[in-house]
Each structure stands twice: as structure tokens, then as C-alpha cells.
Amino acid sequence: GAVVSQHPSRVICKSGTSVKIECRSLDFQATTMFWYRQFPKQSLMLMATSNEGSKATYEQGVEKDKFLINHASLTLSTLTVTSAHPEDSSFYICSAPGGGSYEQYFGPGTRLTVT
Amino acid sequence: GENVEQHPSTLSVQEGDSAVIKCTYSDSASNYFPWYKQELGKRPQLIIDIRSNVGEKKDQRIAVTLNKTAKHFSLHITETQPEDSAVYFCAASIGGSARQLTFGSGTQLTVLP
């Protein structure tokens, strides 16, 4: 099946700094990618839809100026958490729909810890 | 928007018994219903999915049933094994180019040896 990678897998940063997370589709092109956030013992919550060549669509309650999304190519979307705070500590997972099927392919996730 | 509710939140069964997890959805336009298994710190893993044009799908010990009229779908795991222990999520989406998924709240399944 299709493969989605994420980098880094884990990151620890200090409060007030910015962190960039990359999501890549390795063997297929993805005009759309999704970014989810998952707090401990909770479900995956959609943060935004990343659209290649255009602006991302953010879910209600997600600050677009804090969570910057760039989808500059058909295989790469990036999520930048700006001015991170401890409450941003979470598991961030991206996904991309597979062409020709309804299935979504998830990245392995990025564990962000803000100290 | 779509709202997916999932029950129970925790489920303990004896090894060899069956486990059933139920979900309801709100948007009648949803037509794709996947189930995921997630182990701690890992990505969700698709275990079975069903589209709205069928009422049941089975893959070895795992089956999913869908009732479009009632807007609910269920996961059935038979002959459970300790390695089935994990968190299970249902989800719903309106198929198409967007395929945005709305997840249920999750069920922690524990299979007791």
C-alpha cells in the first residue's frame, strides 16, 4: 500500500519556540493531506486540510496563525507550530487519501513535547 | 458537520470470546466507514472498512455491519486473542476527493488471557 512518512518522530522544544513537522507521501502524489492532533487517551481530531498550491482549510477553533501549513508540492506538507506552549504538547498525525480508493494512509505521527 | 459517537469506551473480554463495538453517525451523506486499531504511540491501522452500498463485510475474525437507516455501524471481533488488545476507533467520511474522516472517541479493548 501507499506509504506516508513524518519527520521528526519525536521533538522536544522550549516554550515560545517554533517547530516544523514534515509529512511526505513516498510513492504517490497527494493534492490533499490532513493534519490531526491526538491528546493522551483521546481521539484523533482534525486540525486542518492541506491543499497543494492553495491555502489550508482549518477546523473551527484551530488558530491558523499558530499552526502554519504549507503544501508546496504534491508529496510534501508541513505543519509549523509557532510560539509553542506546553498545551500544544500532543501527538500530531498526518494522512493522505490514496488515489482510486477511499482509504487514507497515515503517517507514523510526531510526538511534540513543549517544556 | 459529521458527529460520530462510539460505545463502549472500555471493553474487557476473556480470550476466545467475542467483542462488539458500536458507532452512530449523524450525516446521512457519509458513505465510508473504516475501523482502525491503534497501539500506544503508533499510527492508526486500518483493520476493516465498509461502504454504504453494502450491509456487512467480513475478514476472518473481524466483521463490520452497517445500518444506513439507523445510521449506525458495528465492529465484531470473534475468537479474541490477547494481541487484539488496543484502542479501536470508528470513523466516517463522505467519499470523494476530500475524504475527511471524523473519528469516534475510541474503545480500549482488553483481552484477558
pLDDT in tens, B6-55: 999 999 999 999 999 999 999 999 999 999 999 999 999 999 999 988 89
Option in B89, B97, B101 nearest A32 (CB)? B97
Confidence of residue A2 (pLDDT cuts 50, 70, 90): confident
Give the rounded distance of the alpha carbon of B62 from its chain centre.
10
Residues within 8 A of A (CB atoms), B 34-63 only: 34, 41-44, 46, 49, 51
User: Residue A12: pLDDT above 70?
Assistant: yes
B71's torsion region: left (phi>0), alpha (psi -120 to 50) or beta? Answer: left
Residues within 8 A of B (CB atoms), A 54-93 only: 91, 93
User: Residue B94: pLDDT above 80?
Assistant: yes
Alpha-carbon gap: A87 to the closest alpha carbon of chain B (Å)? 18
pLDDT in tens, A41-76: 999 999 999 999 889 999 999 999 999 999 989 999
Residues within 8 A of A (CB atoms), B 13-32 only: 32
pLDDT at B99: 78
User: Residue A99: pLDDT above 90?
Assistant: no
- Is the Cβ pair A43, B106 closer than 8 Å? yes
Q: B71: burial class by Cβ within 10 Å (0-12, 13-18, 19+)?
A: middle
Alpha carbon distances (Å) from B100 to A34, A48, A105, B64, B69: 8, 10, 12, 20, 22
Alpha-carbon gap: A23 to the closest alpha carbon of chain B (Å)? 13
Cell of residue B99, nine digits: 475524504
Per-position b or e across B47-63, b if 16+ CB within 10 A of its CB: bbbbebeeeeeeeeebb
The residue assigned the cell 491501522 is: B45
Q: Mean of the per-residue pLDDT values for chain A?
A: 94
* Mutate which: A44, A49, A101, vs B, most B CBs within 10 A: A44
User: Residue B5: pLDDT above 90?
Assistant: yes
Please list every residue in chain A whose beta carbon sits closer than 8 Å to the beta carbon of residue B102.
46
Among the ranges given (A45-59, B67-81, B84-98), the one the predictor scored with the smallest mean pLDDT? B84-98
Share of chain B above pLDDT 90, in %: 88
pLDDT at A50: 94
Q: What is the rounded CA–CA span in Å between residue B69 and residue B66?
A: 9
